[in-house]
Amino acid sequence: MEKLITREEREALQNFLMDINELEKVEAQTSKFNVFETLGIVNMEIRHSNVLGWLFSPNEQHGFSDAFIKRFMQEIIQGYDGTEGTLDPLKVLLWDYHDLIVRREWQNIDLLAISESNRFVLVIENKVWSRESKHQLNKYYEIIQDNFPGYHQVFIYLTPFGDEASNPEIWTSMDYSGVMQMIEYCLESRQNMMENSVRLFIEQYMDTLRRYVVGDSNLEKLCQDIYFKHKKALDLIFEYKPDMYSDVSARIQEMIKENDDLVLDDSNKTMIRFTTKQLDQTVENEGRGWTSSRRMLLFEFQNTTRGLRVKLIIGPGEEHIRERLYDIVSDKPAIFKGKNKKLTTAYTTVYVKNILDYNESYELDHEKLHDAIKNKMDKFFRDDLKNLEKAVLTEY
């Protein structure tokens, strides 16, 4: 039987449509021309590697000269002390990169930068949304040992949120937020030496990283404000929009309900919230302005056009509880990956994990999509969720 819209729901939709000022703010941030969006390459790793390789090359026409590679190395050497077998920070800071050559996909390595004058090689494995293949990093390491013996060697594992590599004793993890800060530094310090067209190109790339890779905090906050202001109208719109994402949301909610150790919280098509029974019995429900349960610590599956990812979020509520939770996760960076650098006043992400990247084949084959989700979710519930729950419970 078709569900009839209530008077209250009709009024909610009307109020939402009348709120022109708020909607125009979102439109202003999302309607700008962006060459990366136009070409449909925002999630293609090889395109991100191409841009980074271009910025690393001192002799390219970007106006940065060697500022980007120098800034990059300044960040890297913070982890070195100059002891035997490591880079000497003082020497590295004095290096000249005029002869730096950047190779793309050499021996399948995403980025390889070589300076013969410094006897230095930089290896970057770039993973935007894909995963590290079995033995992949070990293979690249052995290739470098064979081809560049006696060189200073630096191995970087670059991901959106700084995921740990399979062999972290060799591969240093770096996140795209750090890369963005380096680019912003170069843009500011070299702005008088750049052509306007180049500056615009780099700024569009930065916008792409914010929206599609690391997240745009300003846009997220604006959308959250609009959502809570017009929650009833937006939930109604999301409920009736027929697409793959409704199917995914329903499947995830069903899996949570079927799991005796989990508790489903307020959810919709794009956000599926839940907690574990043990966490629910331990952490006080002293939240406000988030969900009807008043829970302050919730897992949230974010079901977007890019794919499915899960976050653990400290929501608004009693400040002493929020501070206690944040202190606990701050002491365990190896477990709580992707944590915000500081406790914000409302919503603070303390863990992020990419679950599944969507592609066109899932639109055509929902059975394939369901199987992929089940496999990924089962693994998350079995491994990561247990570790996260244990880390909080042992200290709270």
Tokens found for residue 28: 């202003």
- 3-class DSSP state for residue 378? helix
Q: How far is CA 196 from CA 38, 54, 359, in A?
A: 20, 17, 35
Which residue do the tokens 């590697």 mark?
Answer: 49
* Half-sphere exposure in the Cβ direction for 155 (13 Å, CA): 20
Rg, the chain, Cα only: 23
Query: Which of 130, 122, 135, 144 is closest to 166 using CA atoms?
Result: 135
* Half-sphere exposure in the Cβ direction for 141 (13 Å, CA): 16
Rounded Cα–Cα distance for residues 93 and 120 (Å): 13
Q: How confident is the model at residue 2 (pLDDT cuts 50, 70, 90)?
A: very low
Residues 6+ apart with CB under 8 A from 317: 286, 287, 288, 290, 294, 296
Instruction: Report whether pLDDT(5) > 50.
Output: yes
Burial 173-193 (b: 16+ CB within 10 A, else e): bbbbbebbebbeebbeebeee
Low-confidence winner among 46-50, 166-170, 299-303 (lowest mean pLDDT): 46-50
- 3-class DSSP state for residue 243? coil
Instruction: Report whether pLDDT(145) > 70.
Output: yes
Residue 151, Cβ density class (10 Å: 0-12 exposed, 13-18 middle, ≥19 buried): middle
* First-last CA distance in the chain: 48
DSSP type of residue 133: P
Rounded Cα–Cα distance for residues 92 and 214 (Å): 29
Measured over the CA atoms of residue 171, residue 177, residue 178 and residue 184, the dihedral's sign is positive
List, in sequence order, every residue forming a beta bridge with 125; answer none if it has no partner: 157
Q: How confident is the model at residue 242 (pLDDT cuts 50, 70, 90)?
A: low
Q: How confident is the model at residue 1 (pLDDT cuts 50, 70, 90)?
A: very low
In this predicted model, what pLDDT tens digit does every residue of 245-301 receive, in sequence order?
888 888 999 999 999 999 999 998 889 999 999 999 999 999 988 999 999 999 999
Average pLDDT, the chain: 84
Rounded Cα–Cα distance for residues 329 and 72 (Å): 28
Q: Give the per-residue pLDDT at 306.
A: 79
The answer to whether the beta carbons of residues 162 and 127 sit under 8 Å apart is no
The answer to whether the beta carbons of residues 151 and 117 sit under 8 Å apart is no
How far is C-alpha 281 from the geometric centre of its chain's CA atoms? 30
pTM of the model: 0.52
Rounded Cα–Cα distance for residues 147 and 226 (Å): 55
Instruction: Report whether pLDDT(86) > 80.
Output: no
The answer to whether the beta carbons of residues 198 and 63 sit under 8 Å apart is yes
- 3-class DSSP state for residue 362? helix
Q: Give the per-residue pLDDT at 38.
A: 56
Q: Give the per-residue pLDDT at 295.
A: 95
Q: Which amino acid, 237?
A: I
**Range with top average pLDDT, 19-28, 196-205, 308-317:** 308-317
Instruction: Report whether pLDDT(150) > 60.
Output: yes
The answer to whether the beta carbons of residues 160 and 213 sit under 8 Å apart is yes
Which residue do the tokens 């331990």 mark?
Answer: 282
Instruction: Report whether pLDDT(81) > 70.
Output: no
Rounded Cα–Cα distance for residues 140 and 136 (Å): 6
Tell me how many degrees the CA angle 111-114-115 measures, rounded to the nearest 5.
150
Q: What secondary structure does DSSP assign to 182-216, as a single string?
A: HHHHHHHHTGGGS-HHHHHHHHHHHHHHIIIII--
